[in-house]
Structure formats: structure tokens, C-alpha cells
């Protein structure tokens, strides 16, 4: 395994909090991650637009260090329209129209905890409160949802999930929809909470997402383990991409 500074991911790895670098840092030097970097370079050379911007690809890890994770919300891939993707699953920047799935998440949040939905779709407050907002694929081609699903990202994000799963601290994994639920076998359901339901998409929200009470169930689980619950309020919103020093990264 090559661990030299010539890695195409050297800068991205250096920007991560130390807790992530210590557990998954070696993944950046694997052949599949080098191949993934080559794939993204080829996409750019072909004139394709890829979301999110390079500095936001690993925003979920930058924003929520491994040692701060209380819960994980697993999405599929970034939003594929201009101005939407910010590297956090289901989240869009302020001023961007709230997507339908996120509107349904807002509705369930209000029905579950009585929290009124904010006028924006920014979820950085959750990330800062210890919710890892991870997509299984971290990039996507403009206008083509799922286009990078087979590019190699799943191997990387499975390692991210494994790192969270391996911690002795009980954690809540929120798995909405079939794509997320396929990751359940990677996780220890005896130590952690695996909250599985239908996806919040308008196509499936009424088939088991609404009324599933993910937010209160996560907090009940954490409280039962003597852990601090998640603050699910969605204000304030800090949509700036976190920098290398945000959480003590070198």
C-alpha cells in the first residue's frame, strides 16, 4: 500500500479531523481510491459537471468527527442539480428550495418532536450536534442521480460505517429506504440501534416513514445507554464548508 504524499487524496485526508484520519486514513492510499480519483479526473476532462465541489466531497466527515458521532443518517448520493449538494446527506444550502424528501423529514420531525420546520433545508446543525450525514456515494454527475454509485465510493463509505460500528460507544444508525437498509448487515444491531423504515421520498413516505418517529427513538436509545441525546433543532445554519482546523485537524 502506497502511503506517500503523492496520493491524489493527500489534501483531502489532511483536512479530516484526527479521529477520522486515525481510523480510515489508510483507505485513501488503496488502489480503489486511486482509481476513483482517476475516474473523477476523467469525468472533469470529458467536460462533465460533478457535484458537490471538491472541497465539499468529504464535508460529512469534516463536520462530524468520529469521536463526536451519536447517530448516522445514511443517504444514497448527493443532489444532482446546481447549487443543491453540500456534502451532507439530505441537506441543501439556505436559499435553495427544500427538496420533497427533506420536506417530509421536516414533517416527521414536527410530528415526532413538535419542532416546527425551519424555512430552509440546511442540516448543518444536526452535523454539529453529532449526526453523521453520510451518503453511500459521495459524488454524482449533474442531472444523473446514481451515476457514481458504481465508481468505488461504496467501498470507502462502508469503511466509514465500519469505523463507527467498531467503536464501543452505542450509536444510532438511521436507515431510510432499501439502499440504506442494505448496509444493515455491516452493523452490530445488538450494540447499536438500527432504525429502519421506508424512505422519506413522496413515493414511499406514506408506506412507513411517517409515524416511524426516528428522532425520539434515537434519543430514547441514547438515554437508555446513559448518553446525551441529539439536539434535533435545525437552527442555526452554518452552511460554510468546514476547514481543516474546524475540529482539530492538522
77 classed as catalytic? yes
Which residues 6+ apart lie within 8 Å of 26 measured at CB? 1, 3
Tell me the three state secondary structure of residue 34. Answer: helix
**Residue among 161, 206, 152, 166 at smallest CA distance from 180:** 161
DSSP 54-78: GGGTTHHHHHS-GGG-SEEEEESS-
Q: CA-CA distance, 165 to 162, in Å (whole number)?
A: 5
Of the residues 2, 29, 67, 77, only one is catalytic, namely: 77
Q: C-alpha cell of 173?
A: 444508525
146, 177 in Cβ contact below 8 A? no
Give the active site residues. 77
Amino acid at each position: 500500500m502506497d502511503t506517500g504524499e503523492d496520493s491524489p487524496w493527500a489534501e483531502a485526508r489532511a483536512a479530516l479531523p484526527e479521529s477520522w484520519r486515525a481510523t480510515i486514513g489508510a483507505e485513501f492510499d488503496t488502489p480503489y481510491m486511486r482509481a476513483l480519483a482517476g475516474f473523477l479526473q476523467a469525468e472533469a476532462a470529458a467536460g462533465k459537471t460533478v457535484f458537490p465541489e471538491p472541497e465539499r466531497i468529504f464535508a460529512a466527515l469534516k463536520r462530524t468527527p468520529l469521536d463526536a458521532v451519536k447517530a448516522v443518517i445514511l443517504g444514497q448520493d448527493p443532489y444532482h442539480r446546481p447549487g443543491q449538494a453540500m456534502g451532507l446527506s439530505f441537506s441543501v444550502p439556505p436559499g435553495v428550495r427544500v427538496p420533497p424528501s427533506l420536506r417530509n423529514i421536516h414533517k416527521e420531525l414536527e410530528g415526532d418532536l413538535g419542532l416546527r420546520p425551519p424555512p430552509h433545508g440546511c442540516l448543518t446543525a444536526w452535523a454539529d450536534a453529532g449526526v453523521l450525514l453520510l451518503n453511500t456515494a459521495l459524488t454524482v454527475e449533474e442531472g444523473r442521480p446514481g451515476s457514481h454509485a458504481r465508481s468505488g465510493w461504496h467501498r470507502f463509505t462502508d469503511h466509514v460505517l465500519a469505523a463507527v460500528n467498531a467503536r464501543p460507544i452505542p450509536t444510532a444508525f438511521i436507515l431510510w429506504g432499501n439502499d440504506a437498509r442494505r448496509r444493515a448487515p455491516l452493523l452490530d444491531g445488538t450494540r447499536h440501534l438500527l432504525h429502519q423504515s421506508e424512505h422519506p421520498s413522496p413515493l414511499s413516505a406514506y408506506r412507513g416513514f411517517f409515524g416511524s418517529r426516528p428522532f425520539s427513538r434515537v434519543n430514547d436509545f441514547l438515554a437508555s445507554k446513559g448518553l446525551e441525546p441529539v439536539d434535533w433543532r435545525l437552527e442555526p445554519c452554518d452552511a460554510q464548508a468546514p476547514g481543516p482546523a474546524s475540529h482539530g485537524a492538522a
